[in-house]
Structure 1
């Protein structure tokens, strides 16, 4: 009785046997995979030229601010310039899709915000897949959203905001930083939970939404905390509530939506650092270490927290977990709010 013949050198391993080897912890040769030594050498040589850090929004917003802070830290750690490139358009899709198409060598990176996970459900074809097309490096920061009113509006609390909206259904204008942004979706959630209807006024950036509020063009609005923070501290805008799990440290007088009787009403705008899928693991690990170290530098941490950013430097696993959690979460809210799919 003859034994099972060994596969010839270079012959393909049958799929069933390959799976069995994988489950048993055996190595399965990958066609075309570079040798381990070559991958290690590529990582050791990285970066060989300046690194582009794409921000898919206009300058001045929270993602741009975070991108520039991270660029400084990465440049110092990598020994190469890290240049921020703003590629705005399509609610962030233009810049994100651009990075998805770049060579996976670590020389083009993406700083994305929560729109990265929202747009997968908001657009029929955003031009990218948030899981398939990207390798997570690290979450950078996360900020609660803040519900705002201009002092001249006379609205001082969430209760007064809800009462005004009920008294003037579909007439109270509310500014947000753009369709599909977490502030926009936070306002949608408030409408659902409070049984009110605003007239949502989307803008192309958080900076423009803030300008609309400061100028009195819109009496109320929702933005991420960082762009609103200095105007709250100065008294130019009134914060009615934040949407974090806890009150913000230097705004102790501003309640959370949880405290105001809205269970589970937590929403954040986060920023994450990504590379195109297929970027070598040693490069991802080096970038993660450098970014986490930069964010944990005491002066940087203090500056970001004072501007309204909570640091979330948890490495690739932490960012991957957030993406996996938030894609279905925002998809369900978009469904409940009846927001039509774009494009």
Structure 2
């Protein structure tokens, strides 16, 4: 009799856990949700997080607050999420660097696939190659000629090792076969500030971050990184059409929770984010700022992350890219 009771209890356990998880999801959120951005303010990830936070909060029936935890190419902030309580109150937003970092950092504080639970893809975006106003080249062809004639003389600023600034530039260097020095910063904002000031020669910021400075005449846009020209900068050619036909780079943004977060919470976060990203006002604003909303299911986000981990590992190995 005792054995039969134990067997029955074991059989009912999954149903009980499911019921508990569903009950937790029904009352969630009961307090603000912390959305960690692993870079300094004003970078592309920070911009995306702040754009979606309000509308996502409305769709979820709660609110989000942004916490910037810069360091180690984004690994510091992501690790905070990986080790947080899986209760839905700490989640993260990261760029394609989430798939790149395991290949360029010799030691990782977390396992990307084991310690994180993707919630949804958020958006994609192009970057743009910009130079300061004193730089002696205003086109991709001119820049390539200068770089080839002066190996190691010029430099570029990035948001940190493994950031999209970094990888778009390293891909540019690999395709063009030029030697341009990497100067990493703790976030895209500081890198742009020093590019404007002439402390570094160039950078590859996301379009939305660069556009105000380009429009104000503080930076010169040489080429966009994607396969097509951007409506934000219709007169700026793609790098591909400017002498590097094999070059193309676009970043993506993903939100995620700690791996053990109950599925009902993941599903609730996903459904509310998808609803927010399909809100006409938010969608229109993001597009105008250079971000293309790209919501997905958790499974699609997981598949995207898994595939990109593999493809970036190959490129990093083939080109010998490191976190320096």
Q: TM-score, normalised by structure 1?
A: 0.86
Aligned equivalent of 2:135, options 153, 178, 182: 153
Q: Is the 8 A contact 1:230 1:307 kept in 2?
A: no
The one-character-per-residue Cα deviations of 1:138-184 (angstroms, maximum 9, x if unpaired) are 11112112111223213121111110001111111222222121221
Structure with the greater alpha carbon radius of gyration: 1
Q: Which runs of 5+ in 1 are unaligned?
A: 1-6, 13-27
**Counterpart in the other structure of 1:184:** 166
- SS of 1:131's partner is helix
Q: Does 1:310 align with 2:292?
A: yes
CA displacement at 1:9 relative to structure 2:
6.9
Q: Distance in 1 between matches of 2:202 and 2:17?
A: 58
Structure 2 match to 1:294? 276
User: Residues 71 and 210 (structure 1 numbering): CA distance in 2 closer, same or farther, change over 3 Å?
Assistant: same
Provide Cα deviations, 1:222-276, integer angstroms capped at 9, x if missing partner. Answer: 2222211211223321221111122111211122233335344222222211111
What is the aligned residue count? 321
Does 1:262 pair with 2:238? Answer: no
Verify: 1:247 aligned to 2:223, yes or no: no
> Residues 61-100 of structure 1 correspond to what in structure 2 (within 5 A)?
61-100=43-82
CA displacement at 1:211 relative to structure 2: 0.8
Q: TM-score, normalised by structure 2?
A: 0.90
Note closer, same or farther for the CA distance 1:130–1:29 as it changes in structure 2 (3 Å cut).
Answer: farther
Measure how far apart 1:11 and its partner are: 5.9
Residues 30 and 338 (structure 1 numbering): CA distance in 2 closer, same or farther, change over 3 Å? Answer: farther
Q: CA deviation at 1:206?
A: 0.9
Residues 234, 341 of structure 1: alpha-carbon distance in 2 compared, 3 angstrom cutoff: closer
Q: Deviations along 1:6-50, whole A, 9 cap, x unmatched?
A: x977569xxxxxxxxxxxxxxx96977743322222221212322
Cα shift readout 1:47-66 (whole Å, capped 9, x = no counterpart): 23221111111222111121
* Equivalent position SS for 1:63: helix
Structure 2 Cα separation of the partners of residues 51 and 199 of structure 1: 39
For 1:42, the equivalent position in structure 2 comes to 24
